[in-house]
């Protein structure tokens, strides 16, 4: 009889948390981001190089076109994530980057997540992206390092 009373004395607390974004949602958002970055690079950097008659075919990592394209790539992710908590791809799919503890994204977190995370992603190709499908809270490698999560806006899950 005591066991039954103890069960009913302690009500289970239900907590609602924002649903984390899985692999496919993040993948499609990233592809849209790549299209946007490609368009921005094509509309800004390429015309400048064409007008100035500068070589765009350099394949070395330090070629001017490659360096400027990398600056646009990293600036896109860093600035949009810091100020809006989402890139255009994430906006389209209703995703947002949050710190795990609920605090505001600070520069250190964003720089570490976006610069180091994107560098790891480019170095190991698709592997860091696949990790999202198999980790709790769908965290990517950069999310583990920066203590962030990517969540759906206005979609909540019940956690008991």
pLDDT tens, residue by residue, 2-18: 454 444 554 555 688 88
What's the DSSP call for residue 147?
T
pLDDT of residue 152: 95
Q: How far apart are CA 139 and CA 128, in angstroms?
A: 10
pLDDT digits (tens, 9 = 90+) for 65-89: 888 888 999 999 999 999 999 999 9
pLDDT of residue 60: 65
Angle subtended at Cα 103 by Cα 101 and Cα 76, rounded to the nearest 5 degrees: 110
Q: How far apart are CA 149 and CA 65, in angstroms?
A: 33
Residues of the chain with pLDDT under 50: 1-2, 4-7, 10
Task: Kindly report the three-state secondary structure assignment for every residue of 26-86.
Answer: HHHHHHHHHHHHHHHHHHHHHHHHHHCCCCCCCCCCCCHHHHHHHHHHHHHHHHHHHHHCC
Enter the tokens of residue 22: 């899985």
Q: How far apart are CA 23 and CA 121, in angstroms?
A: 14
């Amino acid at each position: 009889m005591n066991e039954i009373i103890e069960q009913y004395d302690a009500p289970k607390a239900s907590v609602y948390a924002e649903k984390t974004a899985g692999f496919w949602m993040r993948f499609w958002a990233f592809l849209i981001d790549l299209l946007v970055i490609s368009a921005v690079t094509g509309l800004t950097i390429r015309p400048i190089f064409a007008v100035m008659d500068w070589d765009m075919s350099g394949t070395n990592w330090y070629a001017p076109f490659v360096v400027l394209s990398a600056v646009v790539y990293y600036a896109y992710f860093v600035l949009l994530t810091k100020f809006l908590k989402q890139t255009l791809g994430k906006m389209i799919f209703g995703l947002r980057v949050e710190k795990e503890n609920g605090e505001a994204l600070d520069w250190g977190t964003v720089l570490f997540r976006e610069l180091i995370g994107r560098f790891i992603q480019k170095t190991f190709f698709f592997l860091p992206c696949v990790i999202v499908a198999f980790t709790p809270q769908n965290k990517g490698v950069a999310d583990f390092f920066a203590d962030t999560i990517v969540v759906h806006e206005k979609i909540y899950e019940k956690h008991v």
